[in-house]
């Protein structure tokens, strides 16, 4: 498995956040999109707190609720790889 450099990880994160910021600007200009239901015509999700009736706003709230968990996972793995966490 090819491991990327810190700079590559930074660039990927920057690109991802740039996309998020562009989308938020789009929502700011079109606030009615917050109440749209983007997954209405998709198969139901059985493993998720959201469903086909969820609005874009509901999806954004769910993402904010989840991000701390995944950030914690990333920090934990980084510390594990650096040897700052040891198995007992």
User: Over the stretch 43-59, which tens digit does the pLDDT of each residue have?
Assistant: 766 666 667 778 888 88
The rounded distance, in Å, linking the Cα atoms of 22 and 28 is 10
Tokens standing for 51?
């469903």
End-to-end CA distance of the chain: 27
pTM to 2 decimal places = 0.57
Q: Kindly list the distances between the CA atom of residue 4 and the CA atoms of 11, 71, 81, in Å, as whole numbers in the listed order.
A: 11, 18, 14
Minimum mean pLDDT range among 9-18, 21-30, 54-63: 54-63
Give the position of tokens 């968990």. 69
Pair 57, 31: CB distance under 8 Å: no
């Amino acid at each position: 498995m090819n491991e990327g450099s810190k700079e590559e990880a930074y660039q990927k994160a920057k690109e991802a956040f740039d996309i998020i910021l562009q989308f938020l600007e789009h929502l700011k200009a079109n606030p009615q999109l917050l109440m749209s239901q983007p997954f209405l015509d998709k198969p139901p999700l059985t493993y998720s707190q959201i469903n086909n009736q969820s609005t874009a706003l509901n999806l954004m709230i769910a993402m904010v609720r989840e991000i701390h968990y995944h950030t914690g996972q990333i920090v934990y793995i980084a510390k594990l790889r650096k040897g700052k966490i040891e198995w007992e």
